[in-house]
Amino acid sequence: MMIGGNVNGAVTEWFDGRIDEVRVFTFQAGQFSVADLNLGHPVSVPALTGVGLAGLVLLLFSYGALALRVRASI
């Protein structure tokens, strides 16, 4: 099993990104249905308040500033 790798096993190719979610299914050949990808329940997203939004903006700004510092030092 390989996640984010080249199926040919080439060491020089790497996945340049982020993997958000991985699901592993076991089914007989020819028995796959797109309905198998459904988790079967709705996903709830928490509400974002004004304080939470301000915190998120501050966090993203800080992350961006840190990334610029790291990039400038390279």
Higher per-residue pLDDT: 28 or 60:
60
The residue whose two tokens read 């974002």 is 48
Name the least confident of 1-10, 14-23, 26-35: 1-10
Domain that holds residue 18: 1-36
- Mean confidence (pLDDT) of the chain: 76
∠ CA 58-59-65, nearest 5°, is 90
Establish if 66 belongs to a structural domain.
no
Cα separation, 6 vs 12, whole angstroms: 9
Give a yes or no: residue 19 inside a domain. yes
2 is a domain residue:
yes
Owner of token pair 């076991």: 26
Does residue 53 form part of some domain?
no
Q: Does the residue 47 lie in any domain?
A: no
Rounded mean pLDDT, 54-67: 88
Number of domains the chain contains: 1
pTM summary value:
0.34
Flag whether 25 is in a domain: yes
In a domain, 1, yes or no: yes
What gap in Å lies between CA 23 and CA 38, rounded to an integer? 11
